[in-house]
Structures are given as structure tokens and as C-alpha cells.
Structure 1
Amino acid sequence: MKQKRFSIKTRVTTWYVFFLVLLVSMVFFSLLYMSNRLIQNNTKSDLVTVVKNSLRDVFIEGGKLEIDDDMVSYWDGIYVLIYQENNFIVTGELPEGITQEIPFVADQVRRIEDSKKTFYVYDHPISTADSDDVWIRGITRAGMAAADPGAAFMLKLFLICLPILILFAALGGYSITKRAFRPVSQITETARDIADRTDLSQRIGLDPKGYSKDEIYHLASIFDKMLNRLESSFEAEKQFSNDASHELRTPLSVIIAQCEYALKKADTLEEAQAALEVILGQSKKMSALISQLLTLARADQGAIKLQLEELCVSDLTCMAALEQENVAAHRGIEIQQEIDPDIMWQVDETMFLRLWMNLISNSIKYGKDGGFVRIVLRQENGQLLGKVVDDGIGISPEDLPKIWDRFYQANPSRNDENSAGLGLSMVKWIISAHGGRISVKSVLNEGSEFTFLLPSDSDL
């Protein structure tokens, strides 16, 4: 048989009501106990005081017992009686409920139970010339109900109000708990919809006006942020797969076409050799693309560890600029160098060279024929500052945030067939892996400026 599980709201409400009732009961009964002790002590004290005050109305005259006519036999719940020998009552009367003879004990307040009622009894002996068996006795009811009817009323009132208190506490606690956990139901429904429909565009979207900004509200907000990242990652992964498939399909199609041509239509060695050269070129392009993809994949997984060394980054930057001079000269682009000499910095040599090669080649590719590419390297405020500035076609404002995405190419008309749009993605990862940051400023048809900052080794 499946065990029934109560909801969190029910359990929280139950514990809340239980401890509330327990606390109220403990406080009430503690006060009741202390009040009862105080009342009983006062009752005993009043009993003794009334008996002793009554002694003023009892006196011995001529060896005989005389009782003043003004003697009060009943005062505020206390019965005063005068006994002679053989328990003969001279004056006063017994309270209702006492049916037995009570022996005399001098000057002690005793608790006597008779006929299911409880009494306090106090005896004081009165000596005469004729006999020692004359006593003055005080009797009063024991217990709170008799001593203080108001306290007894409060006890009854509490016992009547306690169920009402429990009911209101349960309803109030459940209402508060239900309201507090209402976002949880919304979170559950949203998660179930996402799981059933695989629709990552849904959000919990709690209205800040309809909910208090408590821990659950902030939890829902964190879930929404997480869903934003998951959706972005999922879309990026899907776009990445589509772009990778597209980029690999083109060289594969060329390779297949050239192979078919070489097998069926190449009549001379020269034609076959030309086809093989095309195949070789496309194979190298595929190899380079796959290599870059593997590098980025390993970078995403944290599998690439930088080999940091204290190197002369000035020389490495000059080396990267020199490598690109022939490509730049082919288009009449001047490479300008503003490189401070002998700058030593903690970098990974291979990655630092790739950083510069990607930035410089990108500026040349999108540069203006007969224009310039300026390379800047210097130390600034304890950081290594690098810049690549060109006067090329620039980037539109709507394209600027996307240039770091893989396979993204802002100007298809200027795309190099050997470029897959992975260079700037690699640049951003290299900068990030060195603990730095990179930014870009660009004006369409006027040029672009890429700036990166690397922290010193003490800040890594």
C-alpha cells in the first residue's frame, strides 16, 4: 500500500500550529500555576489572619468563655467557629460539604478533603480556667475556583478559546504558507512544460508586484537566468552544428567533384594534376577548420592549459607583424608598428602569437586597399595593452556584438574562402584564458580598433 505523503504546506502548517499551541499552553499554564500558588498562599494567610483577629471578640471573664455579640462568623469565604469540649459548636456554622469530625491541631493550616471538596482548616486553642478544650477554628474552601472565581473563569475561557485559536492559527498559517509556496507551483509547471515540450523559451516570470521578493522569488529569478543561459547555449550549439556542417560540406563537395572529374574526364596528366591540387587545397582547408574546431572544443572543456612563461612580448608581436607583411603588401596595405621594446610578460608563446596573427590578418582581410594596419603594444597602468587599428570597411553597430560568435562573418561580400569565421572566437578565448579582456570600436566604412588588456602575472 502506497504511503500517503503530506505536502510541504500541510507539514509546515501542522508544525506551526503545534508549536504555537504548545507555546501558548505552556505560557498560560505556567501563569496559571504561579497564580494558583500565589492565591493559595494568600488564602492561607487570610485564614490565619481572620482567626487571630476573631480572638479579639473572644475573651475570658470570671473564668468563663465570653463571646462578643459583634463577632463575625463569616468573612469573605472564611467560616469562623468556636468549639468547646466534645466538639460542641458554640458559635458559627460549618460550610457545606464538611460531614466528618476534624481533629484539632494547634496553629497549623491543614488541607482537608471531604465529600470531594477540599478545605483549609486552621485551629487555635483558647484556654479557660475550667477547660483547655476551647478552640477557635477557621475553615475556607481550597482551590482556585473558591479562592478566586475570576481565575477559574479565565481557565474556562481559555479552554473555550483554545480550539478557536487553533482553527485561526491553522487557517492563517496555511494561507501564508500557500502564498509563500505559490511560486514553487509555477516553477514546477514551467519545468514540466519545458520537459514535455523541450521548449527552452519559456520562463517562470514571477510578477514582482504579485509576490514578495523573498528567497523563493529570488530562486525563480535565478532559474530564469539559468534558462536564459541554457537557451543561449542550446541555440549557439545548434547554430554551431549548422555552420560547421555548412563549412565542411563546401570543401567536401569540391573534393568529390574533382575526384569524379579526374576519374571520368581527365584525359591528360596536367588535368589530373590540376584536379589533385584542388583536392589538396580543399583538404588543407578542411584540416585547418577541423583543427580550429577541436581547439575551441577543448578550450570549452577546459582541457587546454596555458604554458605561461616570462617572454619578450615585444619580439613576439614584431614576429607576428613580419609574418603578415607579404599578405598586406599584396594589397598595398602598410603595417605600422608602435611597439615598445623589451616588454617582458607572462604569456603562452603559441597562444600569444595566434592572438596577434588572428587580429592582424582580420584587419588586413577587411582593410582598404592602399590603407594601413597599426599595431600598438605598451604597458599602461600595470597592464599590457595591445591594439590593432585599421581604416577598412568597419563593422555596423548591429553586427558588433556578434563578431565573437563562431562562424559569424559580418560582411559576406568580403569573406575569404579560406576563412571560417573562427579567428575572433579564438582571440576572445586566448584573452580570457590570460585573465584579460578585449573590446572593439568600429565605424562603418571608416575602420575598426581592437584593444586588449592583459593583467600582470601577480594579478592572474
Structure 2
Amino acid sequence: MKKLSVKLGILFFVIIFGLMTFVFFFLHEGIAESRVDEELSALQARGNSHRAILEKQFDDETIDHVVLMESESTTDVVVTNKNGAVLDSSTQATPFMKYLQVPSSPIPKEGKILEGNWAEEPFIATISPIHIDGEVTGFVYMFQNTSSVHSLIEGLNQHFILAGWLSVFLTIIIIFFVSKGITKPLIKMKEATSQISKGNFSVSLPKTSKDELGDLAKSIELLANDLNYLKHERSEFLSSISHELRTPLTYIKGYADIVYKRNLAHEEKEKYLKIIVEETNRLSELIKDLFELAKIDQNTFVIHKELIDLSNFFTNIEQKLSPAFQEKKMNFEQQSSPSICLNADPWRLEQIILNLLDNSMKYSQEGANIKLRAYKVKNSIHIKVQDNGKGIPEKDIPFIFNRFYRVDKSRTRSLGGTGLGLAIVQELVHAHGAEISVKSRENIGTEFELIFRG
């Protein structure tokens, strides 16, 4: 009972069998009643036929002729006068005596059924009045043994039982194939998820129809691809972290040993200590980024929004970065209308913009132009960071906000970076309820756009 195909099969069978039983019952009742009505109508018609003959000539010879006609039939006839006295019958009239009473009410010309209870009585019976010169002269009683009706019903029952068993058999076969057809893709999906749980993410499922099962199959394949990507990214992360941690630690340990063990000149000692400080700062930056992402993942950081005048805000950023731009011989331009105010966390917004500007400086050459500007479109405030640096390859653009993703896989120390900066930027932008997008072309430049909707 644990298999879905068995459960579906039983459910379908119970529903279909219930419907079939319901339909068969009413169909059987309808056909049985119809056949009994036909028998009664035929018996009434036979009595009316005899009545018509007797109305033309109501004498002993004609009565004998009518009785003779029924003597070899499965039906019986009794002819009486108007007072109920038996004139003649096709068989002994004794069994019919309870029906051979003078009717207490007038009988219609077309006659009527005296006994129609075929299930409990031994006979079904009809009566037809004989009218001569407008007056009732006698009656024609027709009788038929109900054994023939029972035989007819039994035959009908046998046909229904046979049809019922055939229907059940065919239903079971149909349900078997239907339930298998439904559960087969589910079984394949179960096998696929089992493979995924074992770490095999290269699963593929057959193309199914465009329904819920098809959507589920696509979702499982998408999940497998995402997990495969995450597995790859985890490997990349471990490799990146081990590299990023090992390199500064190696420098720090190596130069610290040199300073500690050797008697160095003051200038040389200063040189080595400077390298140690730089590598310590690099290590500290990496750890800070990791802690920042950890806080974001655990939702332990809070956005404290306040109204920010972007014109003054950009001016402060320009003052902070001016020495860096001058050192790298790059041109920086910021522009914002004095009337633009943004409701945001100033420290987090500064972190976002500084990170984007740092990327622009890192991937641009001497003489590059880097722009920071803000403008308003209806109820939205747009902030753009543009540069004319080396740009991002088109194939890398969809992944640049992924954690630990590097466009430059060489991890050159001149470019640095941990692959965490843009991931942090995206999380902080989303924490503000804003959006971030990027446009870039190789050797032409890159543009990041932040959209804060009112």
C-alpha cells in the first residue's frame, strides 16, 4: 500500500466501481420494469384482441374458438358473463377465482391490469370488458404465469452480471495502465531526487506533457542544476578562501621570520613591516567580508534609514576617494541635483557606492573616466556608477553577483578581491527594497544602476 500506483489504482477502482454499480442498478431496474411492462401490454393487447372477436359474435362457438386459441399458448384466458359466471376457460379456472369477481367499478374500454406484481404473485392478469349494444355483456380475463417473467428477469440478471464482470476486468486493466502512466514519471523523478541526494547532479528527466508533472520535472532539473552550480561554487569558494588565506599568511609568516631572526637595516626592516601590514589588512578585509555575508545570511544586521541629501553625500564620497583617483591618474565626476533626497541607511549606502567605485578603479586603466550620478524618474531615484574600463565579458554578466564568483579567474594580486564585494552590494541593495542591474561591454566600460522606488 506504500506505492502511489497501488493507491491511485485502488482509488480509481473504488470510484469507477461505485459509479458503474450505481449506473448498472438503475439501468437494470429500468430495463426490468420496461420488459415487465411490455409483457403486461402484450397480455392486455391479446385480451383486447379476443374481446374484439367476441363483440362481433358473442356465442358458445366463438367462445370455444377463443379458448382453443389460448389452449396451446403460454397464456390462459377465462371468459365470463357480466355477473362473473365462467362461460369457458383455456384451463382450470380454480387458481384464478380470486380475480374473477364482478368489478366494483366500470372497466375502461381498453381494459386494465388486474395483477402486475410479478415478483410475489403466481400470475399477472388483465381484464377486457365485452360491450354489445353499448352495454357490458361479459369479460375476457388473461393470465400469464410469472415464472416466464422470472425467467426473463434471470436472463437479464445473467447478462448484467456478465457485463459487470467484463467491465470490472476492463476497468482494472485500464486503471493499471493509467496509474502506471501517471506514476512512471513520478518514479523517474524519485530516482532523480535519490541521485541528487547522493551528490549526482547530472540528472535528466524525459520530456513530459505541459502539465503539473512537466512543471515538476523541470523544477527538479533546475534544482539539480542549481545544486551542481552550488557544489561547483563551494569548491571554488574553498579554493579561493584557502588561496586568499594562505597567501597573506605566507607573506606575514615569512617576513615576520625574517624581521625576527635577522639583524636587518632600518630601511629594510621598514620595507618588510610594510608588506606585513599590507597583507594583514588584506586578510582583515577578507574576514570582514565573510562576517558581513554571515550577518546578512542570518538577518542580524539592521537597516537604519534616514533622509539623505545625495548632493552632499556624493561630495563627501568624492573627498574620501580623491587621493585614490589622483594616485591612479583617473578622472572622477559626480553629479546630483540639490533637490534629490533619498531615504536610506547612509553607512550602508556609502558601503554600496564605495564598493562599486572601487571595482571601477580596479578594472580601469590610467586616464579612465569614472562617473557617479543620481537623477529622479517619476517616483524613483536612480544612481549610476559608470566607467570606461575593461568591461565584463557577456558570458560572465549573469553571475557577477554570485558569491565567490570571479571574472578574472587568474586571481592576480594586482587586481585582488575576494569575489564577495558584489554579492554584499546586491544583498544590501535588496535590504533597502531597491534593485541593481549592470550593463557592460568588453573594452568599452561598465555601468551599474541602482533604482530606489518611492
Shift of 1:327: 1.0
When residues 176 and 384 of structure 1 are mapped into structure 2, their CA distance, relative to the original with a 3 A threshold, is: same
Equivalent residue letter for 2:435: G
C-alpha contact (below 8 Å) 2:371/2:385 kept by paired residues: yes
Residue of 392, 417, 420 corresponding to 2:418: 420
C-alpha contact (below 8 Å) 1:57/1:70 kept by paired residues: no
**Which residue number corresponds to residue 118 of structure 1?**
122
**Which residue number corresponds to residue 168 of structure 2?**
166
C-alpha contact (below 8 Å) 1:262/1:272 kept by paired residues: yes
**Which residue number corresponds to residue 23 of structure 1?**
19
2:332 is equivalent to residue 335 of structure 1: yes
When residues 39 and 397 of structure 1 are mapped into structure 2, their CA distance, relative to the original with a 3 A threshold, is: closer
C-alpha contact (below 8 Å) 1:206/1:217 kept by paired residues: no
SS at 2:303 equivalent: coil
When residues 215 and 400 of structure 1 are mapped into structure 2, their CA distance, relative to the original with a 3 A threshold, is: closer
SS at 2:384 equivalent: strand
Partners of 1:168 and 1:100 lie apart in 2 by 49
Shift of 1:456: 2.3
Residue of 375, 383, 386 corresponding to 1:386: 383
Partners of 1:396 and 1:52 lie apart in 2 by 102
Spell out the pairing of 1:73-88 with structure 2 (5 A cutoff): 73=67, 78-82=75-79
2:146 is equivalent to residue 142 of structure 1: yes
Spell out the pairing of 1:206-285 with structure 2 (5 A cutoff): 206-207=206-207, 211-266=208-263, 275-285=272-282
Residue of 166, 169, 184 corresponding to 1:182: 184
Post-superposition Cα deviations, 1:76-110, rounded to whole Å, max 9, x if no partner, equal: 854112479xx997533239xx9957545524824
C-alpha contact (below 8 Å) 2:195/2:203 kept by paired residues: no
When residues 113 and 326 of structure 1 are mapped into structure 2, their CA distance, relative to the original with a 3 A threshold, is: closer
When residues 189 and 92 of structure 1 are mapped into structure 2, their CA distance, relative to the original with a 3 A threshold, is: same
SS at 1:455 equivalent: strand
Equivalent residue letter for 1:29: F
Shift of 1:22: 3.2
Post-superposition Cα deviations, 1:307-360, rounded to whole Å, max 9, x if no partner, equal: 222211222122112211111112322212232223111212111111221222
C-alpha contact (below 8 Å) 2:392/2:407 kept by paired residues: no
Unaligned runs of 5+ in 2: 104-112, 131-137
Unaligned runs of 5+ in 1: 127-133
When residues 273 and 414 of structure 1 are mapped into structure 2, their CA distance, relative to the original with a 3 A threshold, is: closer
When residues 104 and 402 of structure 1 are mapped into structure 2, their CA distance, relative to the original with a 3 A threshold, is: closer
2:3 is equivalent to residue 11 of structure 1: no
Partners of 1:412 and 1:341 lie apart in 2 by 43
Moved more, 293-302 or 393-402: 393-402
Shift of 1:380: 2.5
Moved more, 272-281 or 213-222: 272-281
Post-superposition Cα deviations, 1:401-446, rounded to whole Å, max 9, x if no partner, equal: 44434362538597546643433333333333332122122332xx
RMSD after superposition: 3.8
2:438 is equivalent to residue 442 of structure 1: no
Moved more, 116-125 or 134-143: 116-125
Equivalent residue letter for 1:30: F
Residue of 408, 427, 444 corresponding to 1:429: 427
**Which residue number corresponds to residue 129 of structure 1?**
none
**Which residue number corresponds to residue 203 of structure 2?**
203
- The higher relative CO (CA closer than 8 Å, separation ≥ 6) is in 2
SS at 2:122 equivalent: strand
Count of paired positions: 429
When residues 323 and 99 of structure 1 are mapped into structure 2, their CA distance, relative to the original with a 3 A threshold, is: farther
| TM-score normalised to structure 1 length | 0.79
SS at 1:68 equivalent: helix
SS at 1:392 equivalent: coil
Post-superposition Cα deviations, 1:106-125, rounded to whole Å, max 9, x if no partner, equal: 248247999x9831245799
